[in-house]
């Protein structure tokens, strides 16, 4: 069980991450204003990219927060115990896996790598930027898979987390 003084931090860590994600999207939109002023055609693609980033990364955090606030999980570390069988925890991981699949589809089949490279202002190095985005698109689901495997098959994890 975590120390009592850490419980509020652990219970509301999802909210801090949500504020961070939304703040990043706002910051990127603010930073893109000069580029959009120079080329108004960039307004819609960049706004869609930033809005999509904020929306898709917020969904799992909102689901996690709903589970914690509903009492289904004591804190965000409980989401590392997939074997607990709580519906919110199962739904969280299903959503993460679905988002990973959607991200891979978008990057490899819908030109997402090019859109992210455009955001990064790398049109003169587009092949390298697209390759880096594709590598990231594969690394993210692999890291989620590793976390899910650890959460599922580590018997000591639940004892250490006290969840």
In whole angstroms, give the CA distance from residue 89 to residue 28. 31
Residue 92 class from Cβ within 10 Å (0-12 exposed, 13-18 middle, 19+ buried)? buried
pLDDT the model gives residue 155: 61
pLDDT the model gives residue 120: 66
CA atoms within 13 A on the CB side of 110: 11
pLDDT the model gives residue 67: 94
Which stretches of the chain score pLDDT less than 50?
Answer: 122-123, 163
In whole angstroms, give the CA distance from residue 162 to residue 96. 23
Q: Which domain holds residue 114?
A: 4-161
Q: What is the pLDDT of residues 120-139, one digit of tens each?
A: 664 455 567 788 888 988 99
pLDDT the model gives residue 157: 55
Asked whether the beta carbons of 90 and 112 are under 8 A apart, the reply is no
Phi/psi at 60 (5° precision): -65, -35
In whole angstroms, give the CA distance from residue 4 to residue 123. 51
Structure-block tokens of residue 137: 């698109």
Instruction: Say how many domains are in the chain.
Output: 1
Least Cα distance to 104 among 74, 137, 80 occurs for 137
pLDDT the model gives residue 127: 63
């Amino acid at each position: 069980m975590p120390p009592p003084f850490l419980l509020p931090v652990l219970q509301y860590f999802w909210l801090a991450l949500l504020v961070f994600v939304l703040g990043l999207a706002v910051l990127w939109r603010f930073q893109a204003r000069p580029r959009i002023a120079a080329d108004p055609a960039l307004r819609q693609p960049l706004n869609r990219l930033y809005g999509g980033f904020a929306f898709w990364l917020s969904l799992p955090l909102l689901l996690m927060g709903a589970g914690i606030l509903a009492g289904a999980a004591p804190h965000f570390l409980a989401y590392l115990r997939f074997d607990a069988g709580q519906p919110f925890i199962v739904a969280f991981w299903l959503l993460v896996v679905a988002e990973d699949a959607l991200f891979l589809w978008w990057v490899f089949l819908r030109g997402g790598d090019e859109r992210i490279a455009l955001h990064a202002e790398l049109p003169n190095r587009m092949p390298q930027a697209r390759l880096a985005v594709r590598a990231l698109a594969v690394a993210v689901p692999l890291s989620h898979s590793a976390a899910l495997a650890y959460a599922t098959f580590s018997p000591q994890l639940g004892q250490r987390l006290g969840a």
